[in-house]
Amino acid sequence: MKKPPILTLSQILLLSGVGLLFSCSGSPNQESTDNTTIEISGKINAQLTSPPHVPEPVGSRPAKQVILDMEILEQEGQMANGVSYIYWTFGGSVPGSFIRTRVGDEVEFTLKNHPNNKLPHNIDLHAVTGPGGGASSSFVAPGHEITFSFKTLNPGLYVYHCATAPVGMHIANGMYGLILVEPAGGYPIVDKEYYIMQGDFYTKGNNGEPGLQPFDMQKAVDEDADYVVFNGSTDALTGDNAITAEVGETIRLFVGNGGPNLSSAFHVIGEIFDRVHVEGGKLVNHDIQTTLIPPGGAAIVEFKVEAPGTLVLVDHAIFRAFNKGALGMLKVSGPENEKVYSGTIQEGIYQPEGGAIQTMPGDQGAPEAPTAGSLSERIEIGKRLYAQTCLACHQENGQGIPNAFPPLANADYLNADVDRAISIVLHGKTGEITVNGKTYNSVMTAQTLTDEQVANVLTYVYNSWGNNGTEVTPSMVTKVKSTH
Ligand SMILES: [Cu+2]
């Protein structure tokens, strides 16, 4: 056996690499800026815009205090021709109002929940360094408002969204938007800037079925989207709503993906992205055909339009584009440029094809639940169910959340009427109720549980936190079901 040399080649390389790292660390190209120390001078009101528009670039302005007011509105809107939907919105649009800041700004954010709204909401801004991205300080019940503040530390394009339980449902209903943090000095000026966000939607009726379509939780869990759209609707960026440009102009698209589930293979048919700020950050890639934007992510894409015609924006997971709505148009007008493209301009090659043929997910209801053989087993199984299905709203010890979710602990309303409690878990509940002297007027969604599961979870609740110890049996649940 040979004795090993004192240093192997790879060890030498490693060491010299470390040396290189050290020798570079003091150079001016290395990032060592501490953005927490950027001083602010003066105060401005934030300009907010609805999609596809964006506020004025920050340009060379210094960091400032930015006063920002955003109102949450739950309102009906159009998903597709003949199909409407109750959207939950930040500022009345899907995606929500575009927020434009620069690094070092101190944003004083007031979130208002309109008194006509049914549900509590909050906001998690991915641009925020702090607990829950602001979510933990911004929880707000209908008719209330809340103010919190943050300093923007990292330049880039960020998603914001609601993070109130059930989180997926709030996002699926349209509660997302973009906040841009420009670097000092701003991004280079371009001719046109637009705001686009993809989202997937889940409705009781399949794609194209007319009328006011309710949200379908089961399809959302299965990630079986009926609609995949830009800016909240199949028509938001087509026909008269198309975005526009002139030949020779430079375009910047701020593109986000609200999800909740599906990643976007963002592509513009007939264009190549000259530059892409990958994932919305500092890294710039060049000459890109399709850029991947995950749910909760964003990208900035830039290109120059050289020839007239209609450029088609799609999610290149292509059934989503032609059959579920992920299709938008950028109409470029101006003189032909035969050097770039010699063909005739033809409108209408890429058009939506409408309702995809889909099968409903098998409607077998909830899976067989374990059957409880005794009261203590029922409580034990019920406790697990509570953690899975009730805890997000009613909280770990049944204490609820003031103005939003009523308490189940020592709750007079619960203890007064067991059949009513069973009915609430089976069918959900909306309208004003009074629990322990406080009024609540919100929405509890119906829980998809078997009779056995309803019995177990309610038995757990009745045998916890000072409640009256009722045992709820599956036959009691079956009886309540048959009388409603
Ligand atoms: Cu919400």
Strands 250-259 and 192-201: parallel
Mean pLDDT of the 31-46 span: 88
Find the 482 Cα to ligand 1 centroid distance in Å: 34
Question: What DSSP element (H or E) covers 111?
Answer: strand 106-113
- Which residues, including other chains, have CB under 8 Å from residue 203's CB and lie 6 or more apart? 79, 83, 85, 209, 213, 214, 215, 216, 219, 226, 227
Find the 194 Cα to ligand 1 centroid distance in Å: 25
- Which residues, including other chains, have CB under 8 Å from residue 462's CB and lie 6 or more apart? 414, 415, 418, 468, 469, 470, 471, 472
List phi, psi (to 5°) of 23.
-70, -25
Find the 214 Cα to ligand 1 centroid distance in Å: 16
The more confident residue out of 133 and 335 is: 335
The more confident residue out of 399 and 350 is: 399
List phi, psi (to 5°) of 246.
-105, 150
Mean pLDDT of the 345-366 span: 50
Per-residue pLDDT tens digits for 183-197: 999 999 999 999 999
Find the 175 Cα to ligand 1 centroid distance in Å: 6
Sheet holding 192-201, edge to edge: 227-230, 192-201, 250-259, 297-304, 273-277, 284-288
Q: Is the pLDDT of residue 59 over 70?
A: yes
Residue owning tokens 């050289």: 306
Q: Is the pLDDT of residue 371 over 60?
A: yes
Q: Is the pLDDT of residue 7 over 50?
A: no
Of 246-255, 261-270, 314-323, 386-395, give the lowest mean pLDDT range: 386-395
The more confident residue out of 482 and 16 is: 482
Q: What pLDDT shows up at residue 378?
A: 95
One-letter amino acid of 159: V
Q: What pLDDT shows up at residue 359?
A: 43
Q: Is the pLDDT of residue 279 over 50?
A: yes
Find the 122 Cα to ligand 1 centroid distance in Å: 6
Half-sphere exposure of 126 (CA within 13 A, CB side): 22
Mean pLDDT of the 265-285 span: 96
Of 197-206, 248-257, 363-372, 405-414, give the lowest mean pLDDT range: 363-372
Q: Is the pLDDT of residue 219 over 90?
A: yes
The more confident residue out of 350 and 405 is: 405
Q: Is the pLDDT of residue 290 over 70?
A: yes
Average pLDDT, the chain: 88
Q: Tell me which residue of 233, 106, 110, 221 sits closest to 167, measured CA to CA.
A: 221
Number of H helices, E strands in the chain: 10, 23
Mean pLDDT of the 314-329 span: 95
Per-residue pLDDT tens digits for 74-117: 999 999 989 999 999 999 999 999 999 999 999 999 999 999 99
Find the 93 Cα to ligand 1 centroid distance in Å: 14
Q: What pLDDT shows up at residue 118?
A: 87
Q: How would residue 288 be classed by pLDDT, with cut points 50, 70 and 90?
A: very high
Find the 162 Cα to ligand 1 centroid distance in Å: 5
Q: What pLDDT shows up at residue 341?
A: 66
Q: Identify the bridge partners of residue 44 per DSSP, sorted by sequence position.
A: 66
Mean pLDDT of the 237-245 span: 94
Q: Is the pLDDT of residue 30 over 80?
A: no
Find the 425 Cα to ligand 1 centroid distance in Å: 21
Find the 431 Cα to ligand 1 centroid distance in Å: 18
Q: Tell me which residue of 162, 246, 227, 238 sits closest to 196, measured CA to CA.
A: 238
Find the 170 Cα to ligand 1 centroid distance in Å: 5
- Which residues, including other chains, have CB under 8 Å from residue 34's CB and lie 6 or more apart? none
- Which residues, including other chains, have CB under 8 Å from residue 125's CB and lie 6 or more apart? 133, 134, 150, 158, 160, 179
Distance CA 284, CA 306 (A): 21
Find the 441 Cα to ligand 1 centroid distance in Å: 16
Q: How would residue 314 be classed by pLDDT, with cut points 50, 70 and 90?
A: very high
Q: What pLDDT shows up at residue 19?
A: 37
Q: Is the pLDDT of residue 414 over 70?
A: yes
Q: Is the pLDDT of residue 381 over 50?
A: yes
Distance CA 105, CA 182 (A): 10
Q: Are 252 and 301 in contact (CB under 8 A)?
A: yes
Q: What pLDDT shows up at residue 369?
A: 53
Q: What pLDDT shows up at residue 5?
A: 42
3-state SS class at 393 = helix
Find the 464 Cα to ligand 1 centroid distance in Å: 29
Kindly write down the DSSP assignment for every residue of 278-311, as one continuous string: GGGSS-EEEEESEEEE-TTEEEEEEEE--S-EEE
Q: What pLDDT shows up at residue 354?
A: 56
Helix axes 451-462, 418-427, angle to 10 degrees: 130
